[in-house]
Amino acid sequence: MENPHPRILITGVNGFVGHSVAPFFAQRGYEVIGAGRRELKCEGVRAVAVSRIDRYTHWGDALADVDVVIHLAGRAHKMNESPVDHHLYYETNVEGTVNLAEQAVKAGVKKFVFISSIKAMFSGACEEPLVESLPCRPHEPYGISKLKAEYELQKLSEKTYMKLIILRPPLIYGPGVKGNLSSLIKIIRHLPLLPFGGITNRRSLLGVKNLASAIDAVIQSDQADNKTFLVADGEDISTSELVKRLAEVFNPSARLIDLPGWLWHLANNLPLLSEKISRLTGSLTVNAAFLTQVTGWRAPFSMIEQLKN
Whether 308 is in a domain gets the answer: no
For 187-210, what is each residue's pLDDT tens digit?
Answer: 999 999 999 988 889 999 999 999
For the chain, how big is the Rg over CA atoms in Å? 20
CB contact set of 20 (below 8 Å; sequence gap of 6+): 174, 175, 208, 209, 212
Instruction: Measure the CA–CA gap between 299 and 276, rounded to whole angstroms.
Output: 29
Residues 20 and 149 in one domain: yes
Give the residue among 51, 164, 145 at the shortest CA–CA distance from 102. Answer: 164
Largest Cα span, the chain? 66
- Listed in order, strand segments (DSSP E) in the chain are 7-11, 31-36, 45-49, 68-71, 111-115, 163-168, 171-173, 193-197, 205-207, 227-230, 255-258
Catalytic one of 30, 56, 89, 142? 142
The mean pLDDT of 256-283, rounded to a whole number, is: 77
Split into its structural domains, the chain has a count of 2
Whether 34 is in a domain gets the answer: yes
pLDDT averaged over every residue in the chain:
89
pLDDT the model gives residue 231: 98
Residues 218 and 105 in one domain: yes
CB contact set of 19 (below 8 Å; sequence gap of 6+): 13, 40, 175, 176
Residues 222 and 114 in one domain: yes
Q: Which CATH number fits the domain that encloses residue 99?
A: 3.40.50.720
Give the residue among 48, 38, 45, 8 at the shortest CA–CA distance from 23. Answer: 45
pLDDT the model gives residue 2: 47
Instruction: Measure the CA–CA gap between 152 and 32, rounded to whole angstroms.
Output: 26
Domain range for residue 183? Answer: 179-201+237-281
Give the residue among 29, 66, 288, 78 at the shortest CA–CA distance from 183. Answer: 78
Give the residue among 148, 149, 112, 120 at the shortest CA–CA distance from 225. Answer: 112
Active site residue 142: yes
pLDDT the model gives residue 307: 81
Residues 153 and 252 in one domain: no
Give the residue among 203, 30, 9 at the shortest CA–CA distance from 114. Answer: 9
| Half-sphere exposure at residue 30, Cβ-oriented, CA atoms within 13 angstroms | 28
**Does 141 have pLDDT greater than 60?**
yes
For 21-60, what is each residue's pLDDT tens digit?
Answer: 999 999 999 999 999 887 777 788 898 988 889 999 999 8
Instruction: Measure the CA–CA gap between 223 and 51, rounded to whole angstroms.
Output: 35
Whether 227 is in a domain gets the answer: yes
The mean pLDDT of 221-249, rounded to a whole number, is: 94
Residues 186 and 225 in one domain: no
Q: Distance between the two ends of the chain, CA-based, in angstroms? A: 34
